[in-house]
Amino acid sequence: MGFELIKAVVILLALLGGLYLLLRFLKGRIMPGKGIIEMVHYQSFGPKKGVAIVKIVKDYVALGIADENITLLGKLSPADVEEALKQAEPKTVMPVSGIRGLFGGKFKGIFQYYS
């Protein structure tokens, strides 16, 4: 019984090692580095429907994406897109001090007993 367990563990480790090596080998092919086409933003309007802003070299285009087709909606001004992206960057979040700060005082009556 002990030998069977050791054999099973060795086989499992060999399989996991082989999987690890395979994933390392395929990493560059499955997830290639940054190329000349980059999706800048995507806004979903339902399952498999949305609008994407895509940067191709230095130009920006708006694409309508649906179930079975992609439609060019138009070219966008690079200055306008970059300005909109700067404005849309997430604001820095202030750290929350304790559980009271987390809920913003909405449950004052509950927390007065636990302070």
The pTM of the whole model exceeds 0.85: no
- What are the pLDDT digits (tens) for 23-59? 887 776 665 556 788 888 899 998 889 999 999 888 9
Cα 64 to Cα 43, 51, 67, 83: the distances in Å are 10, 5, 10, 22
Alpha-carbon distance of 55 to 37, in angstroms, equals 6
In terms of phi and psi (left: phi > 0; alpha: psi -120 to 50; beta: otherwise), the region of 56 is: beta
pLDDT in tens, 55-96: 988 899 999 999 889 999 999 999 998 888 888 776 555 555
> What pLDDT shows up at residue 105?
56
Q: 13 is written with which tokens?
A: 């480790």
